[in-house]
Structure 1
Amino acid sequence: MSAGPGPDAARLVVEGPKDTGYGRSPYERDRARVLHSAAFRRLAAKTQVHTAGTDDFLRTRLTHSLEVAQIAREMGARLGCDPDVVDTAGLAHDLGHPPFGHNGEEALDALAADCGGFEGNAQTLRVLTRLEAKVLAPDGRSAGLNLTRASLDAVGKYPWERRPGRRKFGVYADDRPVFAWLREGAPPGDRRCLEAQVMDWADDVAYSVHDVEDGIHGGYVSLRPLLVDADERRALCADVAAAYSGEAPEDLGEVLAELLADPALAPLAAYDGSHRALAALKTTTSVLTGRFVSTVVAATQERHGPGPHRRYAADLVVPRRIRAQCALLKGIALRYVMRRPGAGPRYAQQQEILADLVAALLDRAPEPLDPVFAPLWRAAPDDAARLRVVVDQVASLTDPAALAWHGRLVAGR
């Protein structure tokens, strides 16, 4: 991947030379643009798993994104990827996520059915190439952050439109032109570039390890039931097989037994919140993260050689047992945090808030819309396009802002 002129470093809107004196590469500029964007700042008040703002220890979308970027940068550098490309992808990968985490994503998908649905990764592409304010095209339309082709491609975890049988997708129908541009030079089909694969695995690692860490600290997760109750282990494996893994529950059971017997996890069963326990928890986090990264780097280099590997020259190799261990950790967060007793009514309330907001804005737009979105509403050619503008507006809100808008537009009526 060349940092100079070439297709990977090209931008959709050609920009003039930069006279800043920094001598930065195009990819360093990409990283800075994401880091300084409003959408990135808003991640500080968006839910990761636990509701944002409920505990200073727990992660938000912002801290999660910083951790994904760090893991991706280290792993990518060891494989020979441009470190700023994978770093940018890690920082940017969640910019499109709406308030209230995956629960909000599901709610907006249903509400946006008449304009093609909603998906956080497709929304991220929209934020980067259209909604974020940085660069204007010659015709006056926003080009978003106008990142390089390589960085945009690296953000693409799901480089395809919505299709039957696939819950995830990475582009809406009306974003096809920029998607076609960023995929120029990619092999036919849905293959992801290596940098996107690195970012995706870094996301899985951060999600699985850190959400369990947060759950243990918050008192939602304990390993004791899994250590003593075979039925509970089977139930967890069934959850993981249904949500995160193509493995059969009985095969996951073998991996879970190995994971629970791992000395690195032993201190977690006796966690009491003390300084010593916190240090042990952090040690476990570091050991698991290091294992998941180092094993994958070694497996990739064993198959493809020492590198450097960039773009479409190699695919990331994740050994089966490592992928299963990661899925099981994600399942622990799913079963004991996201599906904990009493969570259902809160999730229903969040979905109702978003439904109320969409309905109120459709009824009263363009006046309540932010100045960025009101002109887009006025220029929209039909009801589906106007619905998309409203969904873009709601998706941009932080958790506290969604509650405040609801109080002003709905509850305050």
Structure 2
Amino acid sequence: MAVSGATPRVAWACEAERSRGRLVPEPEMPPRSPFRRDCDRIIHSTAFRRLKQKTQVFVFNEGDHYRTRLTHTLEVVQVARSIARALGLDEDLAEALALAHDLGHPPFAHAGERALDACMAGQGGFDHNAQSLRVVTRIEGRYAAFDGLNLTWETLEGIAKHNGPLTDREGNGIGRYRDGLPHAIRVHSAQQDLELWSHASAEAQVAAISDDIAYDVHDLDDGLRARMFTLDDIAGLPLVGEALASVRGRYPGLDVPRTVNEVLRLVITLLIEDVVAESTRRAQAAGVASAEDVRALGAPIVAFSDAMRQKEKALKGFLFPRMYRHERVNRIMAEAQGVIRDLFAYFINRPKDLPPSWQDGIETLEGERLARRVCDYIAGMTDRYALDQHARFFDSTPDLR
């Protein structure tokens, strides 16, 4: 199935002209649609720029060619636009959600997230998806009339529901949020109902599955580059091994770098084509006729087929021990977690050492409110800035190599 050409807008796409609007009303600015303006606001945000120095898997000083949060995000955008275009969805909304999905990531990837969550235990915890919402609704300070970026309801909904519904109809947390919603979600929900019980728009679901596709493929690339495994190691995997056999059959004797690139190109194409075909099938079977039908469906409409889901699961099952839990990565991330813990303890005890822009009302803050101020500050740091700050206040800072 070809996915390069645009298809007519489907009835179950979000329509920018029917957006539920912004929390603080603003005049429209044609020819840019509300969703296009959301993209532009995210791109120009401070949090977006900082992604260039935030870890994906490998910290910044391990090499120039490994993915960062920024390059990962750009790859998610490319995949999301491809899928949205093929399905006939709103590409700008899909792009906005892809651009925003990792804005709340702290330094040092999921290791940094685990460290901050532990530091905030009993005080609302830390969740990077929820922090992305907090960044775009409260932390970014670029406009005179409001905090945050004042994004459309549809974009905020997609950020909050990146992994699906968070509550049941009665507002009780479900799944990973059974014991309570993250702090940022609770705070924003008091101002604006994002209908946390429902699935998000098809465009939001596209951004979420594009996140999976992008990191599945680029983590294979980075793992091969880092020599954590070889092409022969992945030859027996479904999907990837099949792609490798196809490339070797078409180009016998091709050098390893080009072979890797051809395999990854083929894998990403197969994943995208499968999502387009399966999502089209689900939409037709469900008879959805609007974006509201998608939200009320009770199950994702954008998804892999059962066969592809099993293949993709096998790929993740390979990458988890061979890359994400590799001894080299574990050692570096354990040291990185120590950096986060040290900084958190330091600023909790010496909040007046926070930068001037974080000092507003600091003398009145205590307990959870002080901890959240410190947490927000650390979460916004790049890897390099976190290490620089640690070296400023501590005698010994790890090299993280």
**TM-score tier after normalising by the smaller chain length:** 0.7 to 0.9
1:164 Cα deviation after fit:
7.4
Partner of 1:192: 200
1:189 Cα deviation after fit:
2.1
Q: CA, structure 1 residues 178+344, in 2 after alignment: closer, same or farther (shift >3 Å)?
A: closer
1:23 Cα deviation after fit:
2.0
What letter is aligned with 1:12?
L
1:123 aligns with 2:134: no
1:392 aligns with 2:372: no
Query: Are the counterparts in 2 of residues 81 and 308 from structure 1 also a CA contact under 8 Å?
Result: no
Whole-angstrom distance in 2 between the partners of 1:34 and 1:170: 28
* Matched position secondary structure for 1:372: helix
Please provide the CA RMSD for this pair.
3.0
1:402 Cα deviation after fit:
0.5
* Matched position secondary structure for 1:375: coil
Partner of 1:231: none
Q: CA, structure 1 residues 79+313, in 2 after alignment: closer, same or farther (shift >3 Å)?
A: farther
Partner of 1:230: none
Mean alpha-carbon deviation: is it higher for 29-38 or for 322-331? 322-331
1:222 Cα deviation after fit:
1.9
Partner of 2:355: 370
1:144 to 129, 144, 148: 148
What letter is aligned with 2:282?
R
* Matched position secondary structure for 2:25: coil
Query: Are the counterparts in 1 of residues 237 and 315 from structure 2 also a CA contact under 8 Å?
Result: no
Q: Which runs of 5+ in 1 are unaligned?
A: 228-255, 269-273
Mean alpha-carbon deviation: is it higher for 403-412 or for 61-70? 403-412
Whole-angstrom distance in 2 between the partners of 1:212 and 1:328: 13
Q: Which runs of 5+ in 2 are unaligned?
A: 1-13, 295-300
Kindly report which structure 2 residues correspond to 1:253-268, keeping only aligned pairs within 5 A, or say none: 258-259=238-239, 261-264=241-244
What letter is aligned with 1:14?
P
1:354 to 340, 343, 346: 340
1:133 Cα deviation after fit:
1.6
Partner of 2:15: 2
Whole-angstrom distance in 1 between the partners of 2:386 and 2:245: 38
Deviation per CA, 1:57-108: give whole Å up to 9, x if none. 1100000001101111111122222111010100110000000001111111
Whole-angstrom distance in 1 between the partners of 2:100 and 2:40: 11
Query: Are the counterparts in 2 of residues 92 and 124 from structure 1 also a CA contact under 8 Å?
Result: yes
Kindly report which structure 2 residues correspond to 1:7-406, keeping only aligned pairs within 5 A, or say none: 8-16=19-27, 18=29, 23-137=31-145, 142-155=146-159, 156-158=161-163, 159-160=165-166, 163=173, 166=176, 172-173=182-183, 175-176=185-186, 178-179=188-189, 183-184=193-194, 186=195, 189-225=197-233, 258-259=238-239, 261-264=241-244, 276-305=255-284, 311-314=291-294, 315-365=301-351, 367-375=352-360, 377-378=362-363, 380=365, 382-406=366-390
Query: Are the counterparts in 1 of residues 130 and 184 from structure 2 also a CA contact under 8 Å?
Result: no
Q: CA, structure 1 residues 169+295, in 2 after alignment: closer, same or farther (shift >3 Å)?
A: farther
Whole-angstrom distance in 2 between the partners of 1:53 and 1:171: 35
Query: Are the counterparts in 1 of residues 138 and 148 from structure 2 also a CA contact under 8 Å?
Result: yes
Structure ranking higher on relative contact order (CA contacts 8 Å, 6+ apart)? 2
The number of aligned residues is 367
1:305 Cα deviation after fit:
3.0
1:265 Cα deviation after fit:
5.4
1:261 Cα deviation after fit:
4.5
Query: Are the counterparts in 2 of residues 370 and 393 from structure 1 also a CA contact under 8 Å?
Result: no
Query: Are the counterparts in 2 of residues 44 and 60 from structure 1 also a CA contact under 8 Å?
Result: yes
1:117 Cα deviation after fit:
0.5
- Percent of aligned positions that are identical: 34
Q: CA, structure 1 residues 411+282, in 2 after alignment: closer, same or farther (shift >3 Å)?
A: same
Partner of 1:251: none
Query: Are the counterparts in 2 of residues 121 and 170 from structure 1 also a CA contact under 8 Å?
Result: no
Mean alpha-carbon deviation: is it higher for 300-309 or for 384-393? 300-309
Mean alpha-carbon deviation: is it higher for 299-308 or for 393-402? 299-308
* Matched position secondary structure for 1:115: coil
1:225 Cα deviation after fit:
4.5
Partner of 2:4: none
Query: Are the counterparts in 2 of residues 107 and 351 from structure 1 also a CA contact under 8 Å?
Result: yes
TM-score, length of structure 2 as denominator length:
0.82
Query: Are the counterparts in 1 of residues 83 and 206 from structure 2 also a CA contact under 8 Å?
Result: yes
Whole-angstrom distance in 2 between the partners of 1:171 and 1:86: 25
Whole-angstrom distance in 1 between the partners of 2:198 and 2:162: 10
Q: CA, structure 1 residues 326+373, in 2 after alignment: closer, same or farther (shift >3 Å)?
A: farther
1:409 Cα deviation after fit:
1.9
1:285 Cα deviation after fit:
1.3
Whole-angstrom distance in 2 between the partners of 1:398 and 1:171: 26
Query: Are the counterparts in 2 of residues 195 and 310 from structure 1 also a CA contact under 8 Å?
Result: no
Query: Are the counterparts in 1 of residues 221 and 260 from structure 2 also a CA contact under 8 Å?
Result: yes
Q: CA, structure 1 residues 145+106, in 2 after alignment: closer, same or farther (shift >3 Å)?
A: same
Q: CA, structure 1 residues 357+265, in 2 after alignment: closer, same or farther (shift >3 Å)?
A: farther
